[in-house]
Amino acid sequence: MAQELQIVVCAGIVPDPLQTLEPVTGPNGPGLKNEIVLPAVLDPWAACALYEAAQLVAKNPGSKLWLVSLGPKAKLQQVMMTVGQKAAFELVPVDGPIGGFPDAHSTAAALAEAIAALPGLDRERLLLFGGWESATRGAGVTLQLVGERLGISDQFQGVDQITLRDDGSFEVLERVEGGRHQVSVCAGTPAVLGWATGNLAEPRNNPQTGMANMRGIMPALQKAKAVTLAANGLRYVSVNLPKQQRETRIEKNMTADEIARELVEWIGAE
């Protein structure tokens, strides 16, 4: 039986993973060199959350999907040109700093405030989605804090699957140690789900979806509320790019037998 879901996805933007990153320290603390001009993408795990949410909404007529994203307006616009073609959503932009160094607690406060102010949101029916960690800070903290601030006491992290049931309850698979999933059944919304990879491939770009989304995205970006993020006593003692270069020995002329013998010796006794 279809349910009318209200799904809010929190998703930040991150530098394209193929870019070279170089930390620099400015007057406001650490950041990345040329951060504002680095090509950006939607945070990968949060993107999985968005695609899972979009599929749930598509399967449940009458449902609604919001995408709440904190970042500089110009970067958000750039990323949404692509993301907007993959899923239908209402963008709720929050104009703020980019990157992994701002404090997660301040980020969560800004996101929770934006979600709480969403017109038409029924918090009793809310499914709050996001990535279980970001590709910038990678702390796995923000989403839980948003949930806690919104008073949601059913939270799941490292989620790979949600299965809705007819009675409004749902089963969740969460990643736990040793390559296993913990299976839980929640009585119903509201709940927080921090997604890992999920099971869906990245949707293909759909220009029609993109056109429909952009009609709402551009006005939303123009009205985006600006926030500053407090440091909350967080101090960076040092920020470094560790040397990663190894002296690589490249073997082009060894036979398979020779390589196998060398590998077995290297592997040693397990």
Partner 1 sequence: METILVLTHVDETGSALTKASLEAVSAGVELAKQHTAKLTIGVLGAASAEAATVAASAVAATGARLLAISGEGFAQPRYATDAAGCEALCRAAQASIVLAPGSSRFVRVAAGVAHRLGGFLDTHITSLSSNDGVDATRWFYRQRVEATISREARPWFLLLDAGTHAAFEGESGAAQVEAVAVTLPAARTTVEGLRSPMRDAQTIRPNARLLFVAGAGWTKKQPDGQIHVAEAGELILAFLRLSGASLGSSKSLADQKAEGPGEEQSVLPFLTHMNQIGQTGATPRHAKGLSTCCHGEEPHVVGWRFIGERRAISLDPNCGWTRGKADVVYVADAFQVMAKVNSLLEARSS
Check residue 148 for interaction with partner 1 (CB under 8 A).
yes
Asked if 221 contacts 73 with a C-beta cutoff of 8 angstroms, the reply is: yes
Mask of contacts with partner 1, 168-197, x by CB under 8 A?
Answer: ---x-xxxxxxxxxxxxxxxx-------xx
**Closer by beta carbon to partner 1, 208 or else 255:** 255
Single-letter code of the amino acid located at 56: L
Selected from 79, 130, 156, 229, the binder of partner 1 by CB under 8 A is 156
Check residue 238 for interaction with partner 1 (CB under 8 A).
yes
In this structure, what DSSP letter does residue 200 have?
P
Which residue, chain included where needed, has tokens 């429909």? 212
Candidate segments 51-59, 63-71, 83-91, 147-155, binder of partner 1 by CB under 8 A = 147-155
Selected from 90, 118, 160, 220, the binder of partner 1 by CB under 8 A is 160
Residues 84-143 that bind partner 1 (CB under 8 A): 100-101, 103-105, 135-142
CB proximity list for 132: less than 8 A, separation 6 or greater: 45, 140, 143, 157, 158, 159, 194, 195, 196
3-state secondary structure of 222: helix
Q: Find the Cα–Cα–Cα–Cα dihedral 228, 125, 150, 198, rounded to 10°.
A: -70
Selected from 96, 97, 158, 210, the binder of partner 1 by CB under 8 A is 158
Candidate segments 66-74, 88-96, 209-217, 240-248, binder of partner 1 by CB under 8 A = 240-248
Tell me the closest approach of the beta carbon of residue 88 to partner 1, in angstroms: 23
Q: Find the Cα–Cα–Cα–Cα dihedral 116, 113, 117, 140, rounded to 10°.
A: -50
Query: What's the CA gap between 81 and 85, in Å, rounded?
Result: 7
- Closest Cα partner for 214 from 89, 118, 107? 89
**Closer by beta carbon to partner 1, 26 or else 268:** 268
Selected from 116, 211, 218, 234, the binder of partner 1 by CB under 8 A is 234
Candidate segments 54-62, 80-88, 116-124, 243-251, binder of partner 1 by CB under 8 A = 243-251
Check residue 38 for interaction with partner 1 (CB under 8 A).
no
By DSSP bridging, strand 6-10 and strand 64-71 are parallel
CB proximity list for 58: less than 8 A, separation 6 or greater: none
Check residue 260 for interaction with partner 1 (CB under 8 A).
yes
**Closer by beta carbon to partner 1, 120 or else 242:** 242
Total residues contacting partner 1 by CB under 8 A comes to 90
Which residue, chain included where needed, has tokens 């952009």? 214
Q: How many CA atoms lie within 13 A of 28 on its CB side?
A: 12
Tell me the closest approach of the beta carbon of residue 28 to partner 1, in angstroms: 15
